[in-house]
Amino acid sequence: MLSERRQSITTFNTGINNSHDDNKKNSAGATARSCPTEKSLRSPCYCEENVWRLAYRRMMGGLGGRERNDAKENVEYYVVFVSNEEKCCPMLNQLASDNPLKACFWDYHVVLIQSTKVVKKGKQVIQAQVSDIDTRLPFPCALEEYLDGTFNSKFADKKDERKFAPLFRVVRAEYYLENFYSDRMHMIKDGVWLAKPPSYDCITTSNMKMNKKGHLSSLDDYVTMSKKSRIEENAWLGEVLTLQQLKLKFGLSNY
């Protein structure tokens, strides 16, 4: 998100894959599972981590006997990055705006889509819901309602409409949980945090490497949506879709 960045690199010295270790009480995974509600997972300006923890909680289950939400084979989870080549995407109904009809122009945003296959009138169809902790819309929200209520900014100039049109990087949640990591250094400018970092440890993986900026982070791989970046990408980065393609992927075939 336009105002997002993160916590100290020292947490990377606590061991490989500690984000998935529920025995480490301050790991991203353990704190996600112990959180009292899904909405309380929110750390403002850290949407990529919010969704990592939400996906982890949904797929691994909460503590205290709460069941996993992916227990049925007909349910799939997708982490979806929203951006465009300009890294300037207008989104309505965001909590960061003082007016739901006043768009936030994010460089990127991240949400979770739950896709469920159900049988209606003898035919298998997809029911998709969006979980966006940063929206004023219902949580979770039917995909059609969410898209209509979020990506409906009006532009007088058709050129601007095309320029700021959203693109969606759709990644299977299990790939994201295994491959996303961040030292939060992109959230520091001139030695000052742009937003208060989460209190839990940084999200880590066993395959971390420095990016071009010298940060231990895979965030840019997900956010970048240039034409070049969309050619022959690895499965762990998912696929980049237009708004129309996203609707078709999740069963909104009447659009």
Q: What is the pLDDT of residues 131-177, one digit of tens each?
A: 999 999 999 999 999 999 999 998 888 899 999 999 999 999 999 99
Contact criterion met (CB below 8 Å) for 168 and 247: no
Bond before 100 cis per omega within 30 degrees = no
Q: Which of 35, 47, 104, 202 is labelled catalytic?
A: 47
Q: What are phi and psi of 56, to 5 degrees?
A: -60, -45
Look up 186 and say whether it is catalytic: no
Distance separating alpha carbons of residues 175 and 177, to the nearest angstrom = 6
Look up 190 and say whether it is catalytic: no
Q: Which of 109, 134, 183, 201 is labelled catalytic?
A: 109
Distance separating alpha carbons of residues 240 and 230, to the nearest angstrom = 6
The predicted model gives 209-220 an average pLDDT of: 93
Look up 104 and say whether it is catalytic: no
Higher pLDDT, residue 229 or 202: 202
User: What integer pLDDT is reported at residue 232 of this predicted model?
Assistant: 53
User: What integer pLDDT is reported at residue 9 of this predicted model?
Assistant: 32
The 10 Å CB-count burial string (b at 16+, else e) for 152-174 is ebeeeeeeeeeebbbbbbbbbbe
Confidence of residue 8 (pLDDT cuts 50, 70, 90): very low
* Cα separation of the two ends of the chain: 28
Confidence of residue 7 (pLDDT cuts 50, 70, 90): very low
Residue 133, amino acid? I
Lowest mean pLDDT among 7-16, 74-83, 94-103, 154-163: 7-16
User: What integer pLDDT is reported at residue 59 of this predicted model?
Assistant: 93
Share of the chain above pLDDT 90, in %: 69
Q: What are phi and psi of 59, to 5 degrees?
A: -85, -30
The predicted model gives 181-187 an average pLDDT of: 96
Q: Which of 70, 132, 134, 201 is labelled catalytic?
A: 132
Lowest mean pLDDT among 159-163, 166-170, 218-222, 245-249: 159-163
